[in-house]
Structure 1
């Protein structure tokens, strides 16, 4: 309790909290895009529950990892050497997560380009889809949670600050999940853009796994620029549709 009181009276602690909170929210965007894309494949009545489960698991994993900070720090120690390259558990997890993201995004892009295929039994497909969606969300939650907590550990030594930043960031994810998922669902071109983001994030994770640090500012700047261009395209399409409406009638 004394530690919390001291932190509340320390301006540097507040600065660290705000900085870490912004970082956690930015890192949560990747997680949220993936959850939105995966849950939009489910029947409409299952989507809110799947999103809540996915984001709830993200919070549980982040808090669980925070309780094992000493273990998390050791994940960056080399455990295996291949072809002269040292790999830690963190590197191996990032490599696995990057490969999974690339596979998932490529599969979704292929399905969007060529949607025709055999129709499985509807009931069995729904069961498998919900279970598969939760399984995929759990796997990526683990990857993104690990990245989030390692970032938090590197930014502040104070556990209460980490906990507050993580909890607030996940609450914001929970609030934003529904609107973001609906926006992605209602705008097919945004789906392709989001899948492109996942491909880029997957390649970034693989690069990180091989020890090549990619400044996240570059990644999120590219994402923001692409989103801005797509927003302008959407405005242009809507304007053309409004202008063409009366003549079309």
Structure 2
């Protein structure tokens, strides 16, 4: 997670090289293991700050959707979405702006116990999914990178069935009211809560990244390591006033 000074970064593809090289870094995995302990969802091989607790909460709040379609927007390499789809008994449509992540997700899906998967390149504002084709939509730590959030929420409204739920985690600075934006897009907000122990754990990850810069560069390459190091340096100062939240909303009508 990285902010430009005074506003969110719009460089949604800046993590492409990290996603390509993440699999090769035992050091990065160990940093997350040390920070999250048994709550680290290693089976999902995630990139970011998602936990087993988050994934269970997302599945709980998505509603009774067995046999229907779940969409994961900003799906990354696919692991978290596949875990939730497996738990819910749904098919999965994953969308991400980074082509390298989508390629990795397709490979992962081939070995996953999910009946029907589809991973495509697209964005929050233009998913490429059919109107009213999803029973639920999830997103993990990706919405903060989306500049035009009203357009993103309008797109989620379009692809959801009436009564379908949108469940996501993101960071919420004081000037940004996700609840108001969701209401304007035709949603009823059901849950808005901080995720457990997020600040302590995220700071621990950043300390680990800064303390293992050389190992990360050796394992992931200079470009990917530099992206993680820049995030660890730049983001810490805003975290105390920018909580990580989990939000669940239901489409009206």
**TM-score bin (small chain):** under 0.3
In proportion to residue count, which structure has more strand?
Answer: 2
TM-score computed with the length of structure 1 as normaliser: 0.22
Larger Rg: 1
TM-score computed with the length of structure 2 as normaliser: 0.22
